[in-house]
Amino acid sequence: MTKAVFASVSAVVASLLLVGAAAGQEASSPELIARGKALVSRHCAVCHAVTTTGDSPNPSAPRFRRLNERYDVEALSEGLAEGLAVGHGPMPEWTFPPADVTAIVAYLKSIQERGGPPLTTPAPPRP
């Protein structure tokens, strides 16, 4: 009995370590990108164009594939982790676990029409 409990505790610890490793990961795997796509399709697609085609259902919500024009997509991970609440008008407030943020950012990066740093002004500093 005791042995079984111990085994499941170490399984939990092992999976936490895996999540931590995924969050710190630089390279984005196809699995990570697919998970990010699923997350934004579920949570964001009511307002944003979340794929490589189409317009946003809410015209004032930026199309995700064009985010790079105004924001440093990498820097978004910070905002996402904090819930993206600040100054987003009708946007509801979310808090994603770090592994989800990593997946969403990996997906967003994968669909940007222009690579590299933002062409215009960088993302405004978060308070």
Name the residue nearer to ligand HEC (CB basis): 87 or 127. 87
Among 24, 30, 90, 125, which residue interacts with ligand HEC (rule: CB under 6 A)?
90
Specify the residue for token string 């042995």: 3
71 is written with which tokens? 């924001």
**Per-position x/- string for 30-69, each x denoting binding to ligand HEC as judged by CB under 6 A, each - no binding:** ----------x--xx-xxx---------x-xxx----x--
Longest dimension (CA), the chain: 61
60 is written with which tokens? 């004032």
Number of CB atoms found within 10 A of residue 26's CB: 6
Name the residue nearer to ligand HEC (CB basis): 22 or 58. 58
Among 75, 94, 109, 112, which residue interacts with ligand HEC (rule: CB under 6 A)?
94
CA 44 to CA 46: how far, in whole Å? Answer: 6
Specify the residue for token string 């024009």: 69
Residue 75 engages ligand HEC in binding (rule: CB under 6 A): no
9 is written with which tokens? 């505790």
Residues that bind ligand HEC (CB under 6 A): 40, 43-44, 46-48, 58, 60-62, 67, 71, 76, 84, 87-92, 94, 104
